Amino acid sequence: MSKKEKNNINENKEKKYPNMGDARINQSKAKVAVPKQKRIRLLKTPTQIIRGFAVLLYAVIIFLLASPFMSATFYITEDLEATTDPEKAYSEYSTQEQIDEAEKNLQQALDGLEKDPDYDPRAESEISVSTMGMDWRYNVAEGVNAEKLANLVEKAKNTDRSMYTEESVKKLNSAVIRAQKALCSTVRVTRSIIQLILSGSVNGTDLEGVGNIVVNVLLIYVLAVLPIVGVLITLFDRKRHIKNISGMMISLLCLMDIFVMVYPHIAIGAVMTITAYILLFVLSVGGLYAKQQEDYIVSHPEKESDFTQKHPQFVKALINFKRVNMKKTLDEEREEEREREEKRAAKKGKK
């Protein structure tokens, strides 16, 4: 077929169907107008406010894990042992002669340290004195000068014992304890939950009474893990009661854990954590009540006027519910209108 014949056929079609070409062009270029989605503005309900404060309290509790939970004071006894019972403490003040004698013996023990021939400087040094690094407090009689002895004790405790023979180290440790007895000394031990987890016990301490505090390592890990679990539940659970029920249970479990683990050696960190858990328990109870009220008014919208007068703060949940459902209804109407327009355009194309 020649080009001229093809043009004649096209001209005849256009005369017979004058609007066919325009319809195809309009159909290809037609675009369905999609309305711009508007963000729903929801009000802050009591449950949302309580949830925010609960997350904040969990964060505070996790931060407090690094603060001192346990604080114990140990006393030197007559038999050169350590005890947490103040009644067993050696409480006689030393005379100046006794202080000088203790200083002399300690200096001799320091001077008598013998180098270990098998010492390896690359090996980790071990602390042989149970009170190393603790906060010692000295009490001496009025008029007695014990400053030199106290400084000598600190020097002896800070001496690297790994490079000396075991026998000479034992003599030094014994002299340190006797010097501390002469000073009528007490030692104060403080440990946080993180320190107890990392070390498993009070660092290098063989003192009587500490074993009862840290014997159950599980209690220590529970105190560290439960607040992390609680904050995750509270963050992910937005519309159910799980966060409030878990908050109440975690608060009670951790309060019991603190008293079992560190009582009666409770430090400032434990006191602050106990306070935070009591507030968390109250918040969880309030959140449970608020959620029940909000669910009730959403399921009984006919009582909106009564709630507006008596409990206006809970009406916010019903307002949010209406706004969300109104948006869904509008979206459904737009979708139906869009489908109708597409069907009309399809019918025009067939004609």
What percentage of the chain carries pLDDT values higher than 70? 75
Q: Is 192 helix (H, G, I), strand (E, B) or coil?
A: strand
Global confidence as pTM: 0.63
What are residue 166's phi and psi, to 5 degrees? -65, -40
Residue 327 — very low, low, confident or very high, per pLDDT cuts 50/70/90? Answer: low
Strand partners, 192: 68
∠ CA 180-187-125, nearest 5°, is 80
- Give the alpha-carbon dihedral of 193, 195, 197, 199, to 10 degrees: -150
Sign of CA dihedral 276, 278, 284, 287: negative
Distance separating alpha carbons of residues 64 and 268, to the nearest angstrom: 10
Of the listed ranges 165-174, 222-231, 256-265, 281-290, the one predicted with least confidence: 256-265
**Mean model confidence pLDDT for the chain:** 78
Partners of 82 in beta bridges: 76
Most confident of 9-23, 106-120, 241-255: 241-255
